[in-house]
Structure formats: C-alpha cells, structure tokens
Amino acid sequence: MDVKDKVILLTGAAGGIGSALARLLAGKGARLALMSRNVQNLNRLRAELDDSALVVAGDVGDEKSAEKAVKDTVSHFKRLDVLINNAGSAYHGSIEHMDMKAFDAMMKTNVYGVINMIQHALPYLKKTKGMVVNISSVAGKRAIPMLGAYSGSKSMVDAISDALRVEAMGYGIKVLNFCPPEVDTDFAKNAARERGIDFEAQKKFRRAMTLKPEKVARMITAGIEKEKREIVAMKSIRPLNYMVPGILDKLFYRFIMKPYKDRYSS
C-alpha cells in the first residue's frame, strides 16, 4: 500500500514511536488523525507537521472516545484507510505483588483499547479495503520477568491480530502485527519509575537490544507499504524460546532479576 494521500488514524501519536511514525508518514504524504489523551502534546506535534493533521483527543480504553475518534476522522477526511493501534502502557512489577488496579488500567489500554478502535474502524476500512496495524511487542512472544502482565497483554494483541487477519480477509482488509524489542522512549523508563525501579542500573544489558523510535517507524512504514502480516523486530526471540527456553530463563534471571534480588526474593 502506498501511504501517500491515505487517511491514517494513529493512536498513541504523541509518544516516542507514535510521533516518529507521524513525522515519517506525514513526510510521505499521508493524511493523519492523531489520537492520545493529552491534547497539548498532540497540538505540539500537529504544529510540527504543518498543521495538516487532525487532532482527536481521547482514551482508547473508553468505548465512546474510540467511537468519537473514528467518527471525527471520517467526518474530516471522508474516509479511513489505515488504523494504527500504537497506544500502550506497561505494568512493571512481579506477579506476586501485582497491583490489580494498575493491571486493569493497562489491560484497558493495551487490549480493550485495541478492540474498541478496531470495532469502530472496521465499517470504514471495509469500504477502502484498508489495513489494521497493531503494535505489539517481542514480550508477547516470550514473557519478560517483572513485565509478566504487560507481556500477556501483548500476547493478546498477537492473538487479536491473527484472528482478525483471517476474519477480515474476505473484506480485503490487511492486518500487520508489529513486535518491537525495547525502544528508546519514555515508555519503559516511566513504567519502571512508577514501581521504584532504577532502570539505569540495567543500561549495559539493554543498550545492545534497544532500537531508536525513528528506526522502528521506518520498519512499521515498510511493513505497511509491503503489506506484511507480521514483523518481529528481534528475529532470534522465537527460535530461542522454542529451542532453548531454559537458557532464556537463566539469562533473564541473571540480567533482570539478580540486580533486584534483595527486593524480590523475600
């Protein structure tokens, strides 16, 4: 799909990956509707994009907001070609001490939000034989300690993508599931800070696997242009987890759990 002149509704637009993606897509001539909760951040991004984009503030986890975002986009641009479900949040903490309120809030964004947006966008995507892009995570392919709940929410995004791809095939709608590894945005740092965890202490281990948001934006855009079904931006994760899952357990323990042993072994 050539993104030029295509109408793209992008959730989580003001975040690290979202804003890099918005800049790249706008540069390629896409017409953008930018959604997230903080209007000021969206307006700042819009001003940077020559004011050509539409700002549709709202919470993807709220069904009425999702409906309004899709309706506002279609009433402004008269069509919808691509929905990018990029909004996401993390819950950082052990299964043992999981805060169920924080878990609910995360699920509302990462899972209910994806479904809400898809349900309201599908009638319009059927008309354009458009595309749904879900931003999942490599954590959905192999759960990461202290991110068990988040990993599970992304496994669910993978399942939604796989099921929807076949359900919507008859309408000519394509589905791309994109799974990044760690990306250099505030996302992971904020989640860790909320749990009182010093992310900087793990810098050495993480630096080797961290991508820049601009690179991730290029990979997602290429996936849309080539109409890929899934991109896992860390190819080794699935074969490793299939062939040597015990080695991954030990690596995760060594590099993620051990620095926090005192805190989490009581």
Ligand X SMILES: NC(=O)c1ccc[n+]([C@@H]2O[C@H](COP(=O)([O-])OP(=O)(O)OC[C@H]3O[C@@H](n4cnc5c(N)ncnc54)[C@H](OP(=O)(O)O)[C@@H]3O)[C@@H](O)[C@H]2O)c1
Q: Which is nearer to ligand X, 169 or 201 (CB)?
A: 201
Rg (alpha carbons) of the chain, rounded to whole number: 18
Instruction: Please provide residue 10's backbone torsions phi and psi, each rounded to the nearest 5 degrees.
Output: -115, 115
Q: What whole-number distance in Å separates Cα of residue 24 and Cα of residue 27?
A: 5
- Interaction pattern, residues 26-55, with ligand X; x per rule: CB under 6 A: ----------xxx--x--------------
Nearest 5°: the CA angle 79, 176, 43 is 50
Q: Which of residues 25, 34, 87, 111 is near ligand X by CB under 6 A?
A: 87
Q: Does 187 bind ligand X (CB under 6 A)?
A: yes
Query: Which residue type does 151 have?
Result: S
| Cα dihedral 11, 166, 235, 205 in deg (nearest 10) | 40
Q: Taking the complex as a whole, how short is the minimal distance between the CB of residue 93 and ligand X, in angstroms? A: 16
Q: Does 17 bind ligand X (CB under 6 A)?
A: yes
Q: Does 188 bind ligand X (CB under 6 A)?
A: yes
Q: Which is nearer to ligand X, 128 or 162 (CB)?
A: 162
Q: Taking the complex as a whole, how short is the minimal distance between the CB of residue 44 and ligand X, in angstroms? A: 11
Q: Does 12 bind ligand X (CB under 6 A)?
A: yes
Residue 224 tokens, joined = 């849309």
Q: Which residues contact 169 (CB under 8 A, 6 or more apart)?
A: none
- Pick from 100, 190, 184, 192: nearest CA to 146: 192
Q: Taking the complex as a whole, how short is the minimal distance between the CB of residue 209 and ligand X, in angstroms? A: 10
Q: Taking the complex as a whole, how short is the minimal distance between the CB of residue 11 and ligand X, in angstroms? A: 6
Q: What whole-number distance in Å separates Cα of residue 124 and Cα of residue 72?
A: 12
The residue whose Cβ lies closest to ligand X is 15
Q: Does 182 bind ligand X (CB under 6 A)?
A: yes
Q: Taking the complex as a whole, how short is the minimal distance between the CB of residue 122 and ligand X, in angstroms? A: 19
Catalytic residue among 150, 242, 253, 260: 150
DSSP 3-state of 80: coil
The label of the residue with tokens 């749904």 reads 132
171 is an active site residue: no
- Pick from 165, 174, 155: nearest CA to 238: 155
Q: Does 88 bind ligand X (CB under 6 A)?
A: yes
Q: Which of residues 53, 59, 74, 217 is near ligand X by CB under 6 A?
A: 59
Enumerate binding residues for ligand X (CB under 6 A). Answer: 11-18, 36-38, 41, 59-61, 86-89, 109, 113, 135, 137, 180, 182-183, 185-188
Catalytic residues: 150
